[in-house]
A and B are shown apart, each in its own frame.
Chain A
């Protein structure tokens, strides 16, 4: 083997080691940021998908709650969100949130319009129900249970969804399940990251946006005066 060949071989070896090290670092940081998943169940029955997940997020509960209900900044939670809007509703205990999600699988992309009525904003149990007539999702509901665990947070996430698309049998269901799992984990990871940043910055979550929203929607008593 010539000296040039030996040098080339060494360079290739170094590059390979570097690639493995970088990949390892990426994997490690992804695991750290994703929190600790303590329960995960994902099923499909007659086209209705259910995802149940319990995760421990490494940020205080008040910040997690704030990030989950900060609908004006909902685009920060998942890079698939390309449009969002907080819509008015006749019921002032509900916040109606519209999101347009650009979802791709391999080279196939489609946009999913999701409108949800969100209730229980001031509590640790937040309910979000799909408004089917305004969405291109047939039906769905998500329940968030947010529980403080010292400086960490246990989140129980339960989602039921009936997509408004025809899912091909056999592999279709598997793909949908994989996508659901991945997107939920991306969202949770971002919620954790943003909550950590807000906590480090000493931001106090006052839920001012939600208060403002509820004030903006006049009830019958106000309008009569």
Chain B
């Protein structure tokens, strides 16, 4: 349902994005294959697990990937949006996230990256 709203271009800043219903499915479909302990490639390389909200918020060995309320400075958003070097675009070696998925992640972070 949310996808339909997003696709229709009616997404509003006020719209509440749910981690459980909107964000986690995107992560499960596009990211978790690599970012899951103990043997996911992305997990082994960076320490970033997306298995749970808590692990996602914990970030990588090098620090958090989410700045709650600030998608512009959040590394997660930077990497899926392709704002870092193209070689760093996530998911690695796969089709980039769709604009709707990118927007959901952006809004979720902008709204405080809540565990809702």
Chain A interface (Cβ within 8 Å of chain B)?
A: 71-76, 79-80, 82-86, 102, 193-194, 197, 201, 209
Contact = CB atoms under 8 A, between A and B. Distances in A.
> For this complex, into which size category does the number of interface residues on chain B fall?
10 to 19
Interface of B: 61-63, 67, 72-73, 75, 78, 83-88
A197 B60 CA distance: 11
A72 B79 CA distance: 11
A102 B72 contact: yes
Contacts of B87: 72, 86, 209
B85 A71 contact: yes
Contacts of B78: 75, 82-83
Contacts of B75: 75-76
Contacts of A72: 84-85, 87-88
Contacts of A76: 62-63, 75
A197 B84 contact: no
Nearest to B83: A83
Nearest to B72: A82
Given A76-B63, A82-B73, 20 more contacts: A72-B88, A73-B84, A74-B85, A75-B75, A75-B84, A76-B75, A79-B67, A82-B72, A82-B78, A82-B83, A83-B78, A83-B83, A84-B83, A84-B84, A85-B84, A85-B86, A86-B87, A102-B73, A194-B62, A197-B62
Contacts of A79: 67, 73
Contacts of A82: 72-73, 78, 83
Contacts of A201: 61
B60 to A, nearest CB: 9
